[in-house]
Chains A and B, each alone.
Chain A
Amino acid sequence: MTGAPVTLLAATLVFAACLALAVVLVLTKVGRETRRRRRAALVAPLRPHLIAVSAGEDEGPARSTLVAAEGPSRRAVTGAIADLLGKVRGLPAEHLVEVLDRHGALESAMADLRHSSPVRRAQAAQLLGVSRVPDAVDSLVVALQDKAGEVRSSAAYALGLIGDPRAAAPLLAAVGAPGAGLPAGLAADALLGMGVGISGALGDALSDPDPRTRTVAAHVCGIGSFTRALPCLRERLALDPDLTVRETCAQALGSIGRADDVEVLARHTEASQPLPLRRVCAEALGQLGEDAAVSTLAALLRGPDPRLAEIAATSLVRLGPCGRAALDAASDERPVQSALTVASLQGVLR
């Protein structure tokens, strides 16, 4: 069988590896504590000044002290200000950005967008965003294609804060990039910070080949009231191969649709459609608030699915007198009674 020296060697190796790992474990803990203390120690003398500037209780001297910081404390101050900018707004925020600018931190952040460390690239993007540097838009758009996910996310977040509508199209494209893509929710948040100038980009994105991009675009259209996209939303609701996209379009039509959208939504409450979509459309009809929806909704009250029937009943409650009349005609149906009970508990019915 196996020779004694070999086995002893193996056993010793395993034992040594365990010991080494235990040491690494302890060092991890010690290292984190030490780094935290060192950072705190660097910022500590300047902290009262940082707080004074952030609180807007500074006539200038505190700012000058911060500007005068050198070396490692200057880097620590930059980090601290980046954090603070996420917490305060108004004049104090402008003063903090001024300190960053005088430190040259914004300039080096622009350069850091091409740094080899992804953490540095992401932090640079963040800093440019919270400082709302308009000149950074082009570089941040490039960073949307970074190979590291956190850099893409930081760039999107920064672009949302800066709010330049030119970034909308590349942002939407980044959502549908192969692989993980840009987180859709983050992209939607950022797009909503870009104002009305993005409606063209949203319209185009509704016919993007990737369903994630289409979902984000449809959602933002609905929340941000981009009515120019209505024709695209209708088309996507009818034809999109992805159920999530169709549901999102139906919700958007419910919040920003016109009178002619009653017919579009009504068509998708029919029995040939997937049940989840029918339920979403029945709810959207109530939200749309057009009396023309009454006959469609009334027909759903007696269907086999109690959920769909109750959603239709709730939508009729929302439609006001016309809808109530339809409900009275079907008051023997349990879904109708249930919807009315809930509505009266919520105080919707007088």
Chain B
Amino acid sequence: MAKNVFPPTMQTWIGRRLMDGAKGRSQVNRHVMEVYALPMRVYFLGTSDRWIGEPDEVVQGFFADRLARPGFFEDWQNSGLPLRRWLMNAFSFYLLELRRARRRDGRAGPMGDDPPTFSGDPDAAVDRAFIVSVVRRALQRARILCEEQGLEDHFTVFVRHHYQGRSYKHIGEEFGVDHARAAVMARTAGRKFRAALREILEQDGTSRAEIDQEIAVLLEAVGA
């Protein structure tokens, strides 16, 4: 087997972007904010700290505070944790800091310094939200890819069937094609969707060779 000459930090999309300076860092931050706004919101709403503030404001405050910190992503890469678990840990500490700040401001009664408690399974809740968020982003990217290649109808057929649950027979009638042609159109757009989804997972730290396994593990974890 050939020796892997790249250090671990270079093996991920994030690691490679971080080598590109401010521009790369900005791309990484954008990925995290786009994909993790929903999972972090879900996590926040499940904690005992949800009284602290409006969910979207708290999550955006977390991103603004932590993503700007030097070494934040380097520490993640050294942790060996999936990015969503690393962000959950960081968010938990951020909530603790907010709670202390509220106490200093006199906006909260005496409370302990324990990490926030979560009602239910936080890992499962975040995994479920992560899947929803990734799929939303993949659909958006696939639509853009299809539009760029003049495949708007193909994408609409794909959405009609896989998103809205309509049969190819009905879709074919809407587009004036037979059901077999409708299926072919959906498959063409489906390939764009699959590529977009896999790209997002790769950007999130999953190696290309492990994407199928990651999908299977996540679906099993959420009981799908």
**A interacts with B:** no
Task: Point out residues on A near B: beta carbons under 8 Å.
Answer: none
Q: Which residues of B contact A (CB under 8 A)?
A: none
